Amino acid sequence: MTYLQSLNDVQRQAVTHTNGPVMVIAGPGSGKTRVLTFRIAYLIEQGIPPQHILALTFTNKAAREMKERIAHVVGSKGDRVWAGTFHSIFARILRVEATKIDFPPAFTIYDRDDSKSLVTDIIKEMRLDTKQYNPSGVLARISSAKSNLITPELYAKNDDLVLYDRMNKRPQIYEIYERYYKRCKQAGAMDFDDLLLQMYRLLQENREDVRYKYQRIFQYVLVDEFQDTNYLQYAIIKLLTLYNGSPHNICIVGDDAQSIYSFRGATIENILKFEHDFPELVTYKLEQNYRSTEHIVQAANMVIQNNSKQIPKEIWTELGSGHKIKMIKAVSDVEEGRLVASTIIEYKNRLHLENKDIAILYRTNAQSRIFEEHLRKQNLSYRIFGGLSFYQRKEVKDILGYLRLTINERDDEAFKRIINTPKRGIGKTTTDQIAEMAVAQGVSMWAILTSGAYPAKGKLQSFVMMIESFRQKALDGNAYDVALKVAQESGIYEELRQDPSLEGISRLENANALLDGIKEFVENDNADEGTTDRSLAGYLANIALLTDSDEKTDEEPNYISLMTTHTAKGLEWKAVFVVGLEENLFPSYMSMGSPDQLDEERRLFYVSITRAKMFLALSYATSRYQFGQFRYNDPSRFLEEIDEQHFETTVERRGKFNMPEPKLLADRPSRKKDYEPRVSPADFKPSPSEQIAEGMEVLHLQFGRGKIIAIDGARENRVATIHFEDTDDQERRIMLRFAKLQIVE
């Protein structure tokens, strides 16, 4: 067991303490993955059959990496470990046990587009206003209910939920939820939330023959990133690991300080109160950071200590003090983009960094545009993460729609997508009539078409015969054989080939890439969680559970990474720029009214700065366009929480943190007495902004008479600091091109 010698003392204890409940609190860069994978390898070497070990992760990529590391230690035995995401493992079990909860084994997995389409149809059928009942908002409400183990029946009986919906003028959400739930079941489909909810139902309602079966199979349970679990995921874990209240062998690994997904339903309470459910718990804290240098680590410690709810720990490193943190202060978001791009050029030239060593992290996707523009001007290669997923592109979803209907004739969303794709003369009126009959009779659209309830003649009959031929091929052919037949005989491939535009060529390449991926699935021994299922059903189950982080990227990437701070979790770079550090942006204005949400914003900042290995730069702009208005911003409160000794230079980091709304810089109408005109509008004539200089006396309609104390910035980004005589807030910084100032002669 030479691998144990590569671990520090605490890591080794966490690996070798195998029995009973164990919690590993793993700080950023502390070797969490090594502990998790070596623990599994150690269990196998102690004689535990690998098929009795369950390891739950949040991405397929993490599961693959885990199995590769295990195999490196124990060989091919590691392939038999049940390692995968919550959704993929539960989908695998549900396909075996689906009939016990009245679902077909080849059930379809609906993605968000499918779910949104179904909710939209239901809202229209109920003749409700789609503005009042926004499909995305309704779907989010349904998702939240499922994540909290609230079925449609329980929702309708919950006075608080019903009252909340009434107050928001959406009193019929419970009925939409009920119809949606029934229609999914009718279609033999589960959405992502159902993979958890139906798994819970399966274990809860089938105690003797199912729950005990999997409790016996999963003798050792390990959960990665436990702080990201929601109420329902934890409820399932408890069903698998508690025998009549007695604890099973469970090990959770996570970090409460990196809990940043409450908007997805994750609850930090799961990790904070884990000991309550498992009182015999033994806790190990991995506090040595192997990623970042001293200034970065200490800055992170200083920030996170301001949170009220946390498991105390002190991260430390032996990588030396390293470079101090660079602070970038800009007068506008445009200048921030320019300064960040020029600093990247400096880092590349002076520190010999490559593009792939650098990341720009921002709080919202909308911030990327300005950085893109300045990176292009400097001819710097970059890639934005979090854009349209490969599997969400139309031509890809069209082919997948044919494949889905081929294995599940009850899949109405797939039926509606492909019945006239490519166009074959089957109009919307025909499709709507079939859909209405299906809803009225409580059956699938395919059943209406093939039972004679709606005559399948001409083009409809040809469509039915084509799908039946695909279905026949799927009986004895592998996934690639069926997909190739679909692409060729459905007309999709030919339609794409006939489009000579760049967009058309790109779409054809995407279709070919999909077929290549299916071919790889069929020929890859490790496909589908280690099983040998090469069927079309096996492929669709595998592909439906992929996330953006699982998609393949360039083998030799050399681009600057641009992404939101949420997307960056789990990644690392030599140099990281965390940008837009202003009040009401980071932390978000939506967090200002809630201490818990503000704590989560601080955890998000903590995650962001701990992505940096050697160089960390923090930037903010004193003004930017936000929500269509030009605003003046205070620097983020998080900046003041870091001690001055960790920064390269002294930069103003103090702001007014009790303000719920950022100040407007441009003139605006207001009912407040403070903003009544102090200068007669009839006599007021703004001077050209380029004529305004330091030392001048000026007039402003709202603030009255003032003196230009200083001007910084260049050309259109010039910002004046003005001392006004008659206001409480006597110094204001205003961008001159919006200021409307009159020079006093």
Question: Could you tell me the two tokens for 614?
Answer: 């050697």
Q: Cis link prior to 247 (omega < 30° from 0)?
A: no
Q: Name residue, tokens 């690994």.
A: 253
| Residue whose C-alpha is closest to residue 574's, from 333, 292, 341 | 292
| Residue whose C-alpha is closest to residue 549's, from 157, 61, 52 | 61
User: Strands 246-247 and 242-243: what pairing?
Assistant: antiparallel
DSSP string, 152-177: HHHHHH-HHHHHHHHHTT-TTHHHHH
Q: Are 85 and 249 in contact (CB under 8 A)?
A: no
Q: CA separation (Å) from 530 to 63, 64, 84, 331, 560?
A: 11, 10, 10, 55, 34
Catalytic residues: 32-33, 224-225, 258, 611
DSSP 700: E
Distance of alpha carbon 53 from alpha carbon 83, whole angstroms: 8
- In the chain, what is the straight-line distance between the N-terminal and C-terminal CA atoms, in Å? 85
User: What is the dihedral sign for C-alpha 355, 360, 366, 372?
Assistant: negative
Q: Name residue, tokens 């007014």.
A: 656
User: What is the dihedral sign for C-alpha 611, 616, 621, 622?
Assistant: positive
Q: Specify the amino acid at residue 187.
A: A
User: Strands 560-564 and 358-362: what pairing?
Assistant: parallel
DSSP string, 320-364: -S-PPBEEEEESSHHHHHHHHHHHHHHHHHHS---GGGEEEEESS
